[in-house]
Amino acid sequence: GAVVSQHPSRVICKSGTSVKIECRSLDFQATTMFWYRQFPKKSLMLMATSNEGSKATYEQGVEKDKFLINHASLTLSTLTVTSAHPEDSSFYICSARNPRGGNTGELFFGEGSRLTVL
Amino acid sequence: QKEVEQNSGPLSVPEGAIASLNCTYSDRGSQSFFWYRQYSGKSPELIMSIYSNGDKEDGRFTAQLNKASQYVSLLIRDSQPSDSATYLCAVTSRGSTLGRLYFGRGTQLTVWP
């Protein structure tokens, strides 16, 4: 079964509203989670690294105030798309590394969240 | 800048054939290498991981790594229509956050019956 759960899997919202996406590690604690964005027929682009108990690290070009990341516990990270616009419509995917695997611990992906902004 | 290059395809092979997917990477510090399969509209699924030079086999899948050439490949034997998907090559990099992956753009594979 899934070891990283993402919710919601699909969301449609009106322009200007905010949307929260949750990413949970189900049977391990993840001090670090990663948030990716994927446009149709494109590869995954890392948006930010979510760090438990501290601020997220954003990739160049990603607006911190627009994509709010909170990693309040060892099993939950949230991504909030604030004041969403149609250009924010995309497939958002989180991932987490199982630390039990050591430095080569396997990385697990959530199921992804398809955001459509009208 | 850490780059991961894949032949974007699409790659089309008949059922039962061998599909060969290639990937090169720019960072010599890369230490871990992964192949993910992604079906349309779904998130990536880990197929193979490889960490040392040589071949690694798992069922119909064989990953090959050549660090000197900065090259990693994935062979799929006895290809099945269910193997039709986009295959993503991903690498880690020494000095980067543990678990941070650098992805290629993916190779779209179609296996026709």
Query: pLDDT tens, B22-58?
Result: 999 998 888 889 999 999 989 999 899 999 999 999 9
How many residues comprise chain A? 118
- Nearest by CB to residue B98, choosing from A95, A97, A114, is A97
- Check residue A27 and give its pLDDT: 85
Between CA A6 and CA A109 the distance in angstroms is: 9
Q: How far is B86 from chain A (nearest CA, A)?
A: 9
Between CA A45 and CA A25 the distance in angstroms is: 21
- Nearest by CB to residue B43, choosing from A32, A42, A110, is A110
Share of chain A above pLDDT 90, in %: 69
Q: What is the mean pLDDT of residues A4-26?
A: 96
Question: CB-based contacts of A3: which residues, under 8 Å, 6+ apart?
Answer: A25, A26, A27, A28, A98, A108
CA distances from B113 to A46, A80, B81 (A): 36, 43, 6
Query: pLDDT tens, A18-55?
Result: 999 999 999 888 888 999 999 888 888 999 999 888 89
Q: Is pLDDT of B95 > 80?
A: no
CA distances from B40 to A42, B51, B108 (A): 11, 28, 10
- Check residue B100 and give its pLDDT: 84
Q: Is pLDDT of A104 > 60?
A: no
Structure tokens at A105: 């611990």
**How much is the mean pLDDT over chain A?**
90
Given an 8 Å threshold on Cβ–Cβ distance, is B46 in contact with A32? no
Q: Is pLDDT of A99 > 90?
A: no
Residue A110 phi/psi, 5-degree rounding, is -75, 175
Cα dihedral sign, A5-B92-B67-B106: positive
Provide, as residue numbers in chain B, all residues whose Cβ is less than 8 Å from the Cβ of A108: 46
